[in-house]
Amino acid sequence: MFDMSERSESAGVPGSGLVKGLAVTLKTMTKRSTTQQYPDVAPELPPRSRGVIALLEENCTVCMLCARECPDWCIYIDSHKEEVAVPGAARPRQRNVLDRFDIDFSLCMYCGICIEVCPFDALYWSPEFEYAEYDIKDLLHDKDHLGEWMVTVPPPPAHDRNGEPAKEETAAARKATIPAAPAARPNT
C-alpha cells in the first residue's frame, strides 16, 4: 500500500515545484524577445529545409514508385508508350513518356517518401514555402508548376573530405592497383 510518509518523501520540500516554475518564468522574462518581421523580411531558413516538392521532368521514367509508396495517395501520374528507333537494333525500343504528374498538396503530409524512393532523382525538396491558395482546388499542382520550383532547389552539400570514399571510387582505385595477370609460361 501507499502511505502518506512515502508520498511526502517523493514530493520533496513543499512548494518546491512552485519555486521551480517561478524560476523558469523569471529567466524567460529577463531575455529579449526575438520577433521576425515575416512578410516584410524573408526568414533565414535552415539549409535543406522542406518546403515544396519540385520535379525534374527529364529524369522521370514513369516508374510509378513515388505514387505507389505515397501513404496519402496524393501523386497522380499518367503516361503513354512511344517507340524509339535505335540504329542497328533489330526492332524499335519503347519508352514511357510522362503525360501528367500532379501532386495534391492539400493531401500531402510532406513525409518525403516519394523523394527517397525515386531511383532517378526526379523529385527534390525545394525550400519554397509561400504557395498558399485561396481555394483548396488550386493546391493540385501539375508538372509544369512543379518544374518551376527546380530553380529554387539548392545544390547538394559538398562531400566530406574526411569521410568514407564512395564505393565506385574504391573499386576504381582497387582495379588500378592490381597488376595485369602475367602471361602463362610454356611448360618445357
Sequential pLDDT tens for the chain (188 residues): 555 555 545 557 888 999 999 999 998 888 888 888 888 888 888 877 889 999 999 999 999 999 999 999 999 999 999 998 888 888 889 999 999 999 999 999 999 999 999 999 999 999 998 888 999 999 999 999 999 999 999 888 777 888 888 787 888 888 888 765 555 566 65
* pTM for the full predicted model: 0.66
Q: How many other β-carbons are positioned within 10 Å of the β-carbon of residue 138?
A: 12
Domain layout of the chain by residue ranges: 52-85+92-153
Give Dmax over CA atoms of the chain in angstroms: 101
Question: Whose CA is closest to 110, among 150, 62, 71, 151?
Answer: 71
Write the class of the CATH domain 52-85+92-153: alpha beta
Placement of cell 529524369 in the chain: 59
